[in-house]
Structure 1
Amino acid sequence: MADFARTPKARVAVLISGAGSNMAALLYASRLPGAAYEIVLVASNDPDAAGLALADAEGLETCALSHKGMARAEHDAAMDAAIRASGADYVALAGYMRILTDDFVAKWRGRMLNIHPSLLPKYKGLDTHARAIDAGDSHGGVSVHLVTPELDAGEVLGQLPVAIRDGDTADDLAARVRLAEHQLYPRVLGEYVSRAYRADWLLEQVRTRALALPEAEERASHGAPGWRTAGKSGKYFAYFNDRHHGSEHIALLVKTSGPDEMESLIERAPEAYFKPAFYGASGWIGVILDRPGLDWQSVEDWLERSWAAVAPKRLASLQRAAAEL
């Protein structure tokens, strides 16, 4: 679990086109204790959207820019500028009835979410409830997914099924699915924006990168995940530290050239490094993972460098040759 007491809240811009009921669900959830995000902007392509009045009454910054008479790319650029001016880290589409340009989507890759009223990959696009009923499905539902250039095709982050009852009309089903939307979207958004501070997500990111190195294997050490070169003579090149031994950080422990380099790095960037208990005396350093703006390429570089320090010469030579290619 993320420690929200020391985790900065993600800043989210919400785009709407109508009543904004999902925006309202996101807003009120953001004001509950322990929320992982805050709403910093509500923007719409329809100046008369009812959701704008709600957002304004709640003291939120709003932006209204009609798309009528504007080229799609021009309108998207203007919306993007407003989002960036708000300082948003993420964008949540909540009934935003616009097909976005590839350029706009690319700028927010991995940071733009959408809610869709079906159990994707079923029924992309419109008329989802009628299509589910006509197909004889037992359930409709709702999905929250990442936005990609292909409509409703991004990675699904969460779903909630809603039973289809005998005699349901599309409107009947839509009303119940809307209730499910209001439950699902705040939870999935909160989980997604806080993942960079959660030990389980950070561990998977490190594990994937560590095991991508030649002949690397995972083996626990004193109850903590660790990675070493394979074989009887294998040596550890990294450990995962989830606030162990009194540390306040979730961190990757890797080898430096020695205590002098370790101390120098910590002095220059105390927000990024610390001296780990027990390991620090021999030149290992803690690379802090649960911090804003973490550069995963730097983490990969540390893993490879630490691996090279203990890997057999034949493996290190092969790795250098591959890098040169």
Structure 2
Amino acid sequence: MAHPMMFDASDPYLTRVREICLRMPGADEKVSHGRPTFFTTKVFVTYGGTVKGDHDPEPHGQSVLVLPDADDRPALLGDDRFFEPAYLGPSGWVGLDLRACGPPDAVDWAEVTELVDASYRRTAPVRLVRELDAR
């Protein structure tokens, strides 16, 4: 049985996240477990998530899940906008609740881009990271 779609394709937060992610070399998008994911050979961003013990897709439905540098993770989780996502959290991933950042036009998209960049660098093949650095 297929997972139900847990996102709105016209979501303005998703539109901006998609633009940021698909600018990365070799990046593509697919729907996995009902959510948009962005990947090269491995996933570097998932849009939307849940927390352990609460599988309601709504509270964190408009969030980005990323794999930050391990040294940055504690500080990120100390910020109320961030959360440890179910399933991925134990592997070092964090979620940024975009609604907690304000309406789409108030989000610090440079911050989101930095998070996406860090996650991409941790998951993408070396040749794609070199291509990103050459831009």
| TM-score normalized with structure 1 length | 0.34
Paired residues of 1:251 and 1:287 also in contact (CA < 8 A)? yes
Alignment correspondent of 1:256: 68
How many residues align? The count is 117
- The residue that corresponds to 2:56 in the other structure is 246
Distance 1:262 1:246 in 2: 24
**Structure 2 counterpart of 1:308, from 121, 130, 134:** 121
How far is 1:262 from its partner? 2.4
Q: Deviation of residue 242 (structure 1)? A: 6.1
What residue identity is the alignment partner of 1:321?
Answer: A
Distance 2:117 2:75 in 1: 20
In our comparison, the structure showing a higher alpha carbon Rg is 1
Aligned-partner residue type, residue 94 of structure 2: I
Structure 1 residues 216, 207: closer, same or farther in 2, change over 3 A? Answer: same
Post-superposition CA distance 1:38-93 (Å, at most 9, x none)? xxxxxxxxxxxxxxxxxxxxxxxxxxxxxxxxxxxxxxxxxxxxxxxxxxxxxxxx
Deviation at 1:264, TM superposition (A): 3.0
Contact 2:49 2:95 in 1 (8 A): no
> Is contact 2:66-2:94 (8 Å) kept?
yes
Aligned to 2:15: 204
Q: 1:279 aligns with which of 61, 84, 88?
A: 88
Q: Match for residue 227 of structure 1?
A: 38
Mapped partners of 1:202, 1:210: distance in 2:
12
Q: Aligned ranges for residues 290-305 of structure 1 at < 5 Å?
A: 290=99, 291-292=101-102, 293-305=106-118
For residues 301 and 256 of structure 1, the distance between their equivalents in structure 2, rounded to whole angstroms, comes to 9
Q: 1:310 to 1:242 in 2, by over 3 A?
A: closer
- Following TM superposition, by how much is the alpha carbon of 1:243 offset from its aligned partner in structure 2, in angstroms? 6.0
| Distance in 2, Cα, partners of 1:200 & 1:222 | 18
Corresponding residue SS for 2:32: coil
Root-mean-square deviation (Å): 2.0
Structure 1 residue runs of 5 or longer lacking an equivalent are: 1-198
**What SS does the corresponding residue of 1:215 show, helix, strand or coil?**
coil
Query: Unpaired runs of 5+ in structure 2?
Result: 1-9
Q: How does 1:116-155 map to 2 (within 5 A)?
A: none
> What is the DSSP-based 3-state SS (H/G/I as helix, E as strand, rest coil) of the residue aligned with 2:25?
coil
CA distance in 1, matches of 2:49, 2:19: 17
SS across alignment from 1:252? strand
Q: Give the counterpart letter for 2:119 in structure 1.
A: S
CA distance in structure 1 between the aligned counterparts of 2:75 and 2:112, rounded to whole angstroms: 18
Contact 2:49–2:85 (8 Å) recurs in 1: no
Shift of 1:263: 3.2
Query: 2:64·2:97 contact (CA, 8 Å) conserved in 1?
Result: yes
Tell me, yes or no, if the aligned pair for 2:69 and 2:118 is still in contact at 8 Å.
no
Query: Could you tell me how far 1:223 is from its partner in structure 2?
Result: 1.1
The CA distance in 2 between the partners of 1:315 and 1:210, in whole Å, is: 13
Q: Is the 8 A contact 1:262 1:275 kept in 2?
A: no
Q: State the TM-score, normalizing by the size of structure 2.
A: 0.77
